[in-house]
Structure 1
Amino acid sequence: MQPVVLACAAQAVYVVAFVLFRSATTRMPPLTGRRPLRVTLEVLRSPRWTFGLLLLGAGFALGDTALLHLPVAASLPAFGIALALLLGIAAGRLGEHPTVREWGALGLTVAGMAAVSFSMAQGLTSAPSRPGDAEGWQLGLVAAPSLLLPGWLLCTRDRTLPGRHARPQTGVAYGLGAGVLLGTAEAAGLGFALRLTHHTGPGIVEAVLLLVAGALGLGLASVGLQHCRMIVLVTVTTVTAKIHLLVAATWLYAEPWPTAPVALATRLAGVLLPAAAVLLFPHHDPRPPRTPRTPHAPRHGRGGTSAEHPAFVSEHRASVRS
């Protein structure tokens, strides 16, 4: 029971940290993912953002401690508690209210968490026997997509059109990029914890990957939190990070999967439903309605009434003189 409590506490700490990041970035000048050095300088100047970073580090430590005694899949349902906390804070503090489509995406996420819980009821709730010595090339294969995908998303897939065609982003692209990076950081942190537990080495590669991927992910998330809605961005970030962590842990640390047909089907549903939820989230907010123009009075000599026409005026003057 204690590892489950730690996993739930870690998710709650993540949400509070993201709330602090959001509060800090709203007080900063405009940030962009194409200027990482400027983003780094701005966020490090903010005491509130720094406090959020410390909280997030504590959440990572709690999560890794829980994962030493639980399969990764057993920690995923804890996001349900964090999701309720996120919705409450976003609605009460920020005035964000999900649309019908976003409620559907959130429902798919909850259904995925429920499917994972059902698959865990088949007996895979004990501490897995994981190796703590992942090879460097395996870590490289996990890290490569996390470094390439965010750049591709920002540069080609989620640009904001300038001018009257501009539509505010909901945070899907930022959430995908930050989620992959933070999922890689969580996988590296788990590897670092396993090495310390099994005494299989200092874990220098895992530590470097944890710091680099974590810093890039937090920077990208901070940029997104300044421009996008927190409900969408944090949900997409967390779902992407957890799915990436589950896949990476299966590859790196032999994460156990159920073999019974029903349990395996529900485990796959627990992965596919949140992925479908990410696709269901709208990428842009609805364009605000355009204010109708007030009709102007017709100008003299251009589309006016016949009484304003020069010929009519001259004729009227002649009749008066006569």
Structure 2
Amino acid sequence: MTQIIDALSEVAEDYDAVFCDLWGCLHDGVRALPEAVEALTRFKEGGGSVVLLTNAPRPRASVAEQIAAMGVPEDCWDTIATSGDAARLAMFRGEIGQKLYHIGVDRDSGFFEPLQIMENPVEITRVPLAEAEGIVCTGPFDAHADPSVLRPELLHAKTLGLRMLNANPDVVVDRGERREWCAGAVAELYESMGGEVLSFGKPYPPVYDLARRRLAEFGADVPDSRILAIGDGIATDVKGAIGEGLDVLFVTGGLAAAETETTRQPQEAALRSFLDSQMMSPTFAIGKLR
């Protein structure tokens, strides 16, 4: 049975680390959420470690710059694990080939920068679709256009037998008050057309393995039983954490605000109905991270 709590501090003493989602939890795509910043800061002051675990299809340095510009202070987190970094490891192992077609926007070009932590990475070249051995999707070309506009290109890719590396399993995000499509929507369309997709990020195991390695980088030896995952995506954050055997705090006031009738807190009956429909049972639920 999911327990509705009013603040992270109510359960903080039971955990030594949190894997915290960004979009919808720590920021709204435009600016930092002050109560969330304060909650993570207090958790750290109490001796806890904070890993920002995000499905951003970019390297962690790029994400750090982005959230700083939104007003997220460095003293509320310790390290960052991104789906982009997890996917880049696979790309530079050559898992979808070396000549790659990129579906995404220019700001995601950092995805293709060489990885210093790998020995003997394969050389990657971005090419037109007709010359490609595989596809990297960091997001649609237009986040506000229905992903179906990509159907002609995806059909051609399927005809060529190309595998797609999906660097962000999120289907949608809310940037302020406006909803945007993500790479996960493109990947779902490609799979529905019979294309093969390799997905990285939540809810898939590789990004959780990366988060644990990042946690260990600064000497934090934390068993899974002492890690709390935090997120607003029922199919990514919650599903992924449950699959990894981690406790999870479901932030209902993000992507599922309407379904859970969340204002300050979710309406209990609406929350139960939504969780039953998704066949998920997070450990805790809260309206907003605070």
Check whether TM > 0.5.
Answer: no
TM-score range, shorter-chain basis? under 0.3
More strand by share: 2
More helix by share: 1
Larger Rg: 1
TM-score by structure 2 length?
0.26
